[in-house]
Amino acid sequence: MRSRRHTIITATLSAATALALLGSLPGTAAAQSESSAQAQRRGLSGVVTVTLGEASVGNYQARTAFCPTGKKLISGGVTTSQLGGVAVMSRPSDTGAGWVVSGRTGNGNGNIGVGAWAVCADPPAGYEVVRTQYGSVPNGQRNRVACPAGKVIMSAGGEARGGLSGLNAVYPEADTSTGAYRAVAAGSTIATGGTSVGLVVVAVCSSPHANYQLTRHPAISANSGSYKSVSCPGLTANSAGLDVGNGFITSLIPAEPYSPAPSAGTPTWTFNGYVRGQSTVTFTPTLICS
């Protein structure tokens, strides 16, 4: 598939293919629902987006945007507000009850503003959350966890552990040669002498559904800390992922997850990043649309 300006890599399930395969925090969160027509288009039902607004919390302190009772998590996002602040955790809970986030300041001192988003729906067929066990990996190394055979990925999440750690990348990927769908995550630490970081990779998986499309967009360069957006022309963005190379993710949030299908260029997910000591950052975003 070719956009008006760039070549993008896309893995798509047509409606016929998908149907064939199918045959074989409370009190502070705000929720919005989409129409039944929008839900039908994206192959999901009962879609609700829950927003847990930014609050000043301690470094590495977890916050969770919980799905309403009876719903399961489809995807989510994180935002941090302090200059030099980075996302440390942006991932599904192990049970799919909500999206869990945390962040840290540039030097690990004081408090940081952190917000969480959760896109929830009636449990899709074949719903499952899979994850790696905690392990120590070299700074920046991309680690993966695969959805079970016959299932597609709905969203990817990750968690970095250790002093002055943060997330460099969290995104879904498709291997078109094998049909495998995976979550990818990477983290690193800026601690003096630090060469490794603890890492957990998480994937939300389900049976295939109509109009499913995973698209890895071309790299985008911008000033460090600048916001950029990507969209699904003619479709709705269910989730997004981001690779910031050797930089850190600072925000990755759904701007219009429950809106009508946008025209080309309409932002649906917004993101930014930070590279320590540099004025520019390069992002590679990935979207899952239907």
Cα distance between residue 260 and residue 231, in whole Å: 12
Cα distance between residue 115 and residue 80, in whole Å: 7
pTM: 0.84
pLDDT, one tens digit per residue, over 197-210 is: 999 999 999 999 88
Quick check: helix, strand or coil at residue 20? Answer: helix
Cα distance between residue 39 and residue 6, in whole Å: 29
Q: What are the distances in angstroms from CA 231 to CA 6, 137, 174, 255, 285?
A: 14, 32, 19, 10, 10
Residue 260, both tokens: 């009508």
Cα distance between residue 280 and residue 272, in whole Å: 11
Give 88's contacts (C-beta < 8 A, 6+ positions apart).
Answer: 60, 102, 103, 104, 159, 160, 165, 166, 167
φ/ψ of 15, rounded to 5, equals -60, -40
Give 150's contacts (C-beta < 8 A, 6+ positions apart).
Answer: 21, 24, 126, 207, 208
Q: How many residues does the chain have?
A: 290
φ/ψ of 169, rounded to 5, equals -160, 140
Question: What dihedral do alpha carbons 22, 210, 148, 154 form, nearest 10°?
Answer: -150
pLDDT, one tens digit per residue, over 168-196 is: 999 999 998 899 999 999 999 999 999 99
What is the pLDDT at residue 239? Answer: 92
φ/ψ of 37, rounded to 5, equals -65, -40
**Which residues, given as ranges, of the chain have pLDDT below 70?**
1-43, 256-267
Q: Which domains does the chain have, with CATH numbers?
A: 9-289 (2.60.120.690)
What is the pLDDT at residue 91? Answer: 98
Residue 25 and residue 64 in contact, taking contact as beta carbons nearer than 8 Å: yes
- Closest by Cα among 41, 52, 43, 103 to 76: 52
What is the pLDDT at residue 4? Answer: 30
Q: What are the distances in angstroms from CA 105 to CA 23, 224, 228, 242?
A: 49, 15, 21, 20
Cα distance between residue 273 and residue 87, in whole Å: 9
Segment holding 21, helix H or strand E: helix 15-23
What is the pLDDT at residue 80? Answer: 93
